[in-house]
Amino acid sequence: MAIKLLIVTQKVDINDPVLGFFHRWILEFSKHCEKITVICLGKGKYDLPGNVEVLSLGKENTGSGISYAFLFFKYIFSNLGNYNTVFVHMNQEYILLGGIFWRLFGKKILFWRNHLKGSFLTDISVFLSNMTFCTSPSSYTARFKKTQIMPAGIDTDFFRQDLSVKKKLNSILFLGRIAPVKKVDIFVDALKELHEQGIEFSATIAGASLPTDTGYEKTIKDKVSAFGLNERISFAGSLSQAEALEAYKKHEVYVNLTPSGSLDKTIFEALASGMKVLVSNTFFGGILPEDWIVESPEDPRNLARSIKIALDAPPDSSETKKKISILLQEHSLLALMKKLRREFVS
């Protein structure tokens, strides 16, 4: 059976700092599908083959909730003959709106959701779906029988080590949305500990806050100033995929304090780019070196100790490199496409 796929996602924009990776996913999907129709809330720059059509709900033109819903229903009904499978990426709202109609018209619904928390609305979305996917056993949707644990889908052809780029000595990178859940404040407190211990370092905080977290971002920047760390810590703002790759190449240690429950793609990107990583996600226990797993991530002194050990550590052992290589193979974009392709045609 020829695969005709409807993808529903938040944004199609190769330069988006958070969702830019999904452009590569669509490109890979296009290699295995006769036709792809993408409905997105907003669109930016993209470069996709002729069998992919991108339909925007108009957020880039400051549309409204009513106009979004009108266009959504217009697109799903006017394109009924153009898809036999629906792949909804992250946003359960689209299944709540269109799920019943898709089931009535015999469309297979595949739902990708990887958040730690959920609600009864998530439960309804899973119920309406034929299959649900997540990357972490701690994800909210992992509890359902119809859920499959999937690879993270990292483009290891793009994110890879470049030995021609010399990393800055004692450099630390923190890349992600500036929000309380990311524990950026703990990271800054840990850097203060290092500074007080007389340890030389430079750090980059890359990312931006959502409108709801602008106060938190201001608090972080005020902390840096109050601690006298403006010369040690720089703020890079949001980074595109290409800019993130350059940041990974130039820094030695990557710190990610996102709690267990979802697999932050940036961890895999940093590993693929040849960085040492410090994580608090328990998924990586037994895979990464013990010193790379941050226990008690709420404790700045403990985090500072972990960063110091990472900065002083010799090159990774052959055993560590082997484990990381296997991990990246298992979570590559090609591994993900292989598994998803089976579901598209089953």
CA torsion 100→104→107→111, rounded to 10°? Answer: 20
Say if residues 200 and 168 touch (Cβ distance below 8 Å): no
Range 125-129, long-range pairs (CB < 8 A, 24+ positions): 125/92, 125/95, 125/96, 125/99, 128/95, 128/96, 128/99, 128/100, 128/102, 128/103, 129/88, 129/95, 129/99
Residue 140 has pLDDT above 80, yes or no: yes
160-178 confidence digits (pLDDT tens): 999 999 999 999 999 999 9
Does 277 have pLDDT greater than 80? Answer: yes
C-beta separation of 250 from 165 below 8 A: yes
Q: What is the pLDDT averaged over residues 24-28? A: 96
Is the distance from CB of 174 to CB of 296 less than 8 angstroms? no
> Given a cut of 70, is residue 121 above it in pLDDT?
yes
pLDDT of residue 296: 86
Confirm whether 164 is domain-assigned. Answer: no
**Interatomic CA distance for residues 93 and 113, integer angstroms:** 11
Q: Any alpha helices (H) in the chain, and if so which ranges?
A: 21-30, 65-78, 93-104, 120-128, 184-196, 214-226, 241-250, 265-272, 300-312, 318-330, 333-345
Give me the torsion for CA of 174, 180, 181, 185, rounded to 10°. 40
Measure the N-to-C terminal CA separation of the chain; round to a whole number of Å: 9
Angstrom distance (rounded) from CA 156 to CA 243: 16
φ and ψ at residue 226, rounded to 5 degrees: -65, -35
**What total number of domains does the chain contain?**
2
Q: Range of 205's domain? A: 171-329
Q: Is residue 161 part of a domain?
A: no
Residues 11 and 34 in one domain: yes
Q: For residue 147, what is the domain's CATH number? A: 3.40.50.2000
Question: Domain for residue 189, yes or no?
Answer: yes
Higher-pLDDT residue of 70, 63: 70
pLDDT number for residue 90: 93
Domain shared by 76 and 217, yes or no:
no
Assigned domain for 159 exists: no
Give residue 142's pLDDT: 94
Average pLDDT, the chain: 94
Q: What is the pLDDT of residue 1?
A: 59
Q: Are residues 219 and 137 in the same domain?
A: no
115 assigned to some structural domain: yes
Whether residue 261 has pLDDT greater than 80: no
Report the pLDDT value the prediction gives residue 51, as an integer from 0 to 100.
97
| 311 and 240 share one domain | yes
C-alpha–C-alpha distance, residues 23 and 242, integer Å: 13
Do 146 and 192 belong together in one domain? no
Q: Looking at the structure, do residues 304 and 175 belong to the same domain, yes or no?
A: yes
Percentage of the chain beyond pLDDT 90 is: 85
pLDDT band at residue 262, thresholds of 50, 70 and 90?
confident
pLDDT at 64: 79
Rg over CA atoms, the chain: 21
The owner of tokens 């229903």 is 73
Burial of 22 (0-12, 13-18, 19+ CB in 10 A): buried
Q: What is the mean pLDDT of residues 20-41?
A: 96
Say if CB 151 and CB 332 are below 8 A apart: yes
Say yes or no: 124 and 210 in one domain.
no
Residues 6+ apart with CB under 8 A from 143: none
Percentage of the chain beyond pLDDT 70 is 99
Q: Which residues contact 106 (CB under 8 A, 6 or more apart)?
A: 84
Q: Are residue 22 and residue 124 in the same domain, yes or no?
A: yes
Tell whether 25 and 80 lie within a shared domain: yes
Look up residue 130 and give its two tokens.
């034929």
What DSSP designation does 262 have?
Answer: S
Mean pLDDT on 203-217: 96
Q: What is the pLDDT of residue 248?
A: 97
How far, CA to CA in Å, does 75 sit from each of 42, 52, 106, 226, 288? Answer: 14, 14, 17, 52, 45
Claim to verify: residue 101 and residue 134 sit in the same structural domain: yes
Does pLDDT of 345 surpass 80? no
Residue 320 lies in a domain: yes
Distance between CA atoms of residues 224 and 228, nearest Å: 6
3-state SS class at 53: strand
Tell me the average pLDDT across 308-336.
90
CA distance 180 to 115: 16
The count of C-alpha atoms lying within 13 angstroms of the C-alpha of 277, restricted to the half-sphere facing its C-beta, is: 28
User: Does residue 163 form part of some domain?
Assistant: no
Residue 149 included in any domain: yes
One domain, residues 176 and 302: yes
CA pair distance 214, 234, nearest whole angstrom: 17
Is pLDDT larger for residue 341 or for residue 231? 231
Please report the pLDDT score of residue 192 as a whole number.
Answer: 98
Same domain for 339 and 252: no
Length of the chain: 346
